[in-house]
Amino acid sequence: MLFSSNVFLYLFLPLCMLTYFVVPRKLKNFVLLVFSLVFYAWGEPKYVLIMLASITVAYITGIFADKSRYKEKAVLKARFAMITAIVWNLGFLFFFKYTNLFIKTANDIGGFGIKALEIALPIGISFYSFQTLSYVIDVYKGEVRPQRNILNLATYVALFPQLIAGPIVRYQTIEEQLTQRKESFELFSDGVRRFTFGLAKKVILANSAGALFEELSAMSNDKLSVTAAWLGIIAYTFQIFFDFSGYSDMAIGLGKMFGFEFLENFDYPYISKSVTEFWRRWHISLSTWFRDYVYIPLGGNRCSKGRHIFNIMVVWSLTGFWHGASWNFMGWGVYFGVLLLLEKFIWGKGLVKTPKAVQHIYALFFIVLGWALFAFDDTDKLINNLKNMFGLGGLPLINDMTVSKLLSFAVMFIVLVIASTPLCRWAGVKIKAKSTVAFDAVQTLAILALLILSAAYLVSSSYNPFLYFRF
Amino acid sequence: MRIKQQVITFIFLAFIFGFAIVGLVMKDREFSDMENRTLAQSPEVSTENILNGDFQSQLESYMSDQLPLRDKLYSMKVDIERLMLRSYQNGVYFADDGYLIQEYKESPQTLRNVQYVNDFAKKVDVPMTFMLVPTATAVHSDKLPAGCLNDDQMETVKKVQSQLDEKIDFICPYEQLKSAFNGVENDDVSPVFYRTDHHWTAWGAENGFYALMKELGKEYDSKIIGNLDYHTINAEFYGTLYSKAPSAVQKADRFMAPTHNGGVYSVEFAKEQEDPHTLVGMYDLTKLETKDKYATLFGGNYSRFTIHSDVGNDEHILVIKDSYANAMLPYLATVYSTIDVVDMRYYHMEEKTVSELVKSEGISQVILLYNVDFFNSDNNFLWLD
């Protein structure tokens, strides 16, 4: 189920809230778990079993990964439990996500003619595998105590706000909240604010930008222009940010409504002045996960320069590959790995001495170019689009179609740019300093307006009038 | 502070529970006048449906289709985007003077349709005239906003004309419609084309009728035409293009149809089950009460019907047509005593093919009457045999 669907907003969520706030404290986690399982099963019921299996494995290995239960010499048992969890989670992730890619690649190279497996990717598996994995590793490291109540652990893994698109919530973040949280008007209303902003980001901004990208990327070269190729990828740049961060906002907001506080996942990534800064602001829960569970265990930067470079490249290849079963995602990760190394060792120091505007343009150029690698999993299309962007496709610089699109999306682009920056927040602070009442009124009305507008945009996707009656 | 938190909490709960409860209590709609289609109904619950996911996707369509305030919400989205200077919505451009104008893209279907018409002409040995009417997209192209990406309908018209069998007399009333429009000073009443609908108006059709009569070298009684009454059938009208791009600031059209006081007209349906039994003369006045007022003309579109009039001649013609013809038929009926009307969208695998019909009914003239947009996109011409 998606947050941005009518079923979620006007059926699932009301029922879930009603039940959750009516039942006594003891049953609240159970209610959340049941609703989360329904939420998960909505798209593909059978994959609930896989998630339940993962939860069970995490529960058992978690208990046995706790070193404190063993005498000194038996800590190997804890290590074994942790390795079991790693093998299980990565094994499942690889099997469901990457098997067909490897089969296809082997066929392309060796012509083996192996049949692709009929497996669909269980939704959210990339997220919950990482969550259960980090839980068991943290237990092993002694950073958290194992969860003895399987219902609580299952609630953590399956918790529907963050289940299918993150943020990757670490067990240590909500360990205490699982058993001792307190819902309040303060948290709930703050959750409403976050959820509403996220919903509007997704259904108004991301979908509008996405429609432009879809249209332009489906056009054949004879209709395109160089400007249109850039316009398309810039639209994609906005789409992916508002889609993804909107989803994180909705997750964080829903969490708050039920008394949970997750960590932030995005921090205005497009105002970055370098690629390094971009990755501190983009999908924070993923980059910190890779930092803590891959980069640091590999030795991080406390090693030789060669090893350090190796560590960085491993982390960024994996980060890229995590995004999807296609080589262009790994290419995208490697691209950022190389850029980060260049900033670290070659031009990073020089960059900070240039004017701020130059730094912003520099960072945005490489971010947007990165999305050009990310957006197409078809290599021919990817190369064709890159050629078009850099004027190697023999396209005109601009044409009537491009002008038409620029005209009709101009205002939308202004809105997208403003929404990508902390401008609204800054304006809010200014208003609040002058009058708290005015600020409260503006914010409350904005929430109401955005909710209604989001409902309008949501309904428009199915609005489909016919000139002639359809039988 | 606490009051604000409570207000925001209340707003959100009112929002999700409001749509939930009103949606539950409100009676489901079967058909949307606005969208001109049947709406999704509540899905069937069964283990199989749930396991294969059908139930889930049907429930989403159902809730979306039956959402309270659905049409108003959509209209709000259109206006927000208009405020953001989007001049295009759902295949429709917001043009000058309150006109909604359909997008036009030439399709390869046009030349296929020409071929079907040519093949048909070989089987018929009575005179045949093909009138291809440009739509507002061409006639009012000067009203379109900057940056439109339409193809040129007149290019399509040229192509059709050049490919058409020489036996077929071809006419495109572009100039006539253009000058008819330019001759009007007050265009409050949408003279040639409706502002909110994809059809031409009675007056547009009347000018088409003059062009056709001239082409056929046919006399008509200008006294009758001049004295037609347009007050009897006259109602406020929001058409199909409004449905596609419903803006709250859109001005309504007036739907009008000519009444010939003193003339006697009747319509006979070839199939009893198609007869709506609500026609008075050529008009279905019950449709004036519905959203689709253009359907007042003959009650809509049918496979075949015959118009009988008290014109004192025995001329029997056949009109093969789309819905544009519906507005012109009342004028033609003042000239011909019997008009057979066939719509290829519904005239499939009938007892007689159209060419057999021409022979058996003693038809003296065949008229094909289509608008460019329809001829460019419809794929039912293969039934024309």
Interface touch B84/A412, C-beta < 8 Å: yes
- In-domain check, residue A331: no
Residues A83 and A195 in one domain: no
Residue in chain A closest to B240 (alpha carbons) equals: A467
The DSSP call for residue B245 is S
Measured CA angle at B151 (ends B150, B152), to 5 deg: 115
Residue in chain B closest to A442 (alpha carbons) equals: B4
Residues A177 and A229 in one domain: no
Interface touch B61/A462, C-beta < 8 Å: yes
CA pair distance A374, B220, nearest whole angstrom: 68
State pTM to two decimals.
0.89
How confident is the model over A405-439, as pLDDT tens digits?
A: 898 899 999 999 999 999 999 999 999 999 999 99
**Which of A52, A76, A51, A54 minimizes the C-alpha distance to A65?**
A76
Residue in chain A closest to B94 (alpha carbons) equals: A408
Residues A177 and A192 in one domain: no
Residues A197 and A104 in one domain: no
A237-247: average pLDDT: 94
Chain A residue numbers with beta carbons less than 8 Å from the beta carbon of B51 are: 45-46
CA pair distance A231, A212, nearest whole angstrom: 9
Give the helix ranges, DSSP H, for A218-263.
Answer: 226-257
Residue in chain B closest to A459 (alpha carbons) equals: B64
**pLDDT band for position A277 (cuts 50, 70, 90):** very high
Domain boundaries, position A395: 187-273+352-458
The SS3 call for residue B284 is strand
Chain B residue numbers with beta carbons less than 8 Å from the beta carbon of A403 are: 147
Of the listed A283, A308, A323, A360, which one is catalytic?
A323
How confident is the model over B157-203, as pLDDT tens digits?
A: 999 999 999 999 999 999 999 998 887 766 666 689 999 999 999 99
Q: Which of A10, A45, A468 sits opposite B51 (nearest CB)?
A: A45
How confident is the model over B212-264, as pLDDT tens digits?
A: 999 999 999 999 999 999 988 889 999 999 999 999 889 899 999 999 998 99
How confident is the model over A9-43, as pLDDT tens digits?
A: 999 999 999 999 999 999 999 999 999 999 999 88
Identify whether A283 is a catalytic site residue: no
How confident is the model over B347-380, as pLDDT tens digits?
A: 998 889 999 999 999 999 999 999 999 999 999 9
- In-domain check, residue A82: yes
pLDDT of residue B53: 85
* A244 Rama sector, left if φ>0, alpha if ψ -120 to 50, beta otherwise: alpha
Chain A residue numbers with beta carbons less than 8 Å from the beta carbon of B147 are: 400, 403-405, 407-408
Chain B residue numbers with beta carbons less than 8 Å from the beta carbon of A468 are: 36, 301, 323, 345
Residues A363 and A404 in one domain: yes
B299-303: average pLDDT: 92
Q: How does the average pLDDT of chain B come out, rounded?
A: 92
The DSSP call for residue B87 is -
How confident is the model over A41-96, as pLDDT tens digits?
A: 988 888 899 899 999 999 999 989 887 777 777 778 888 888 999 999 999 888 88
pLDDT of residue A471: 44
Q: Which of A42, A408, A456 sits opposite B56 (nearest CB)?
A: A42
Domain boundary among A142, A158, A181: A181
Residues A137 and A66 in one domain: yes
pLDDT higher than 50, residue A470:
no
How confident is the model over B29-61, as pLDDT tens digits?
A: 988 888 888 888 989 888 888 888 889 889 998
Residues A109 and A230 in one domain: no
Q: How many CB pairs under 8 A join A and B?
A: 156
Question: Taking a C-beta distance cutoff of 8 angstroms, is the pair B102, B241 a contact?
Answer: yes
Q: Which of B12, B63, B88 sits opposite A11 (nearest CB)?
A: B63
pLDDT of residue A69: 79
Q: What interface predicted TM-score (ipTM) does this complex get?
A: 0.89
Q: How does the average pLDDT of chain A come out, rounded?
A: 91
Domain boundary among A134, A164, A181: A181
Residues A220 and A171 in one domain: no
Helix axes A25-41, A13-22, angle to 10 degrees: 160
Interface touch B8/A447, C-beta < 8 Å: yes
Question: What percent helix, strand, coil does chain B show, rounded to 5?
Answer: 45, 20, 40
Number of domains forming the structure of chain A: 2
Residue A131 in tokens:
């969550």
pLDDT of residue A468: 62
- In-domain check, residue A56: yes
- In-domain check, residue A97: yes
Domain boundary among A181, A198, A216: A181
- In-domain check, residue A285: no
Q: Which of B2, B76, B86 sits opposite A456 (nearest CB)?
A: B76
- In-domain check, residue A319: no
How confident is the model over B261-293, as pLDDT tens digits?
A: 989 999 999 998 988 899 999 999 999 999 999
pLDDT higher than 70, residue A323:
yes
- In-domain check, residue A299: no
Count Cβ atoms below 10 Å from residue A331 Cβ, excluding itself: 18
**Which of A370, A356, A293, A295 minimizes the C-alpha distance to A86?**
A293
Residue A183 in tokens:
């819902």
Interface touch B35/A464, C-beta < 8 Å: yes
- In-domain check, residue A128: yes
pLDDT of residue B299: 93
Residues A142 and A256 in one domain: no
Residues A52 and A119 in one domain: yes
pLDDT of residue A348: 84
Residues A54 and A171 in one domain: yes
The SS3 call for residue B100 is strand
Interface touch B5/A447, C-beta < 8 Å: no
How confident is the model over B127-150, as pLDDT tens digits?
A: 999 999 999 999 999 999 887 888
Q: Which of B20, B76, B198 sits opposite A14 (nearest CB)?
A: B20
Chain B residue numbers with beta carbons less than 8 Å from the beta carbon of A193 are: 8
Interface touch B37/A447, C-beta < 8 Å: no
Would the CA dihedral through A329, A204, A214, A386 be positive or negative? negative
Residues A153 and A86 in one domain: yes
Please give the residue that has the higher pLDDT: either B155 or A300: B155
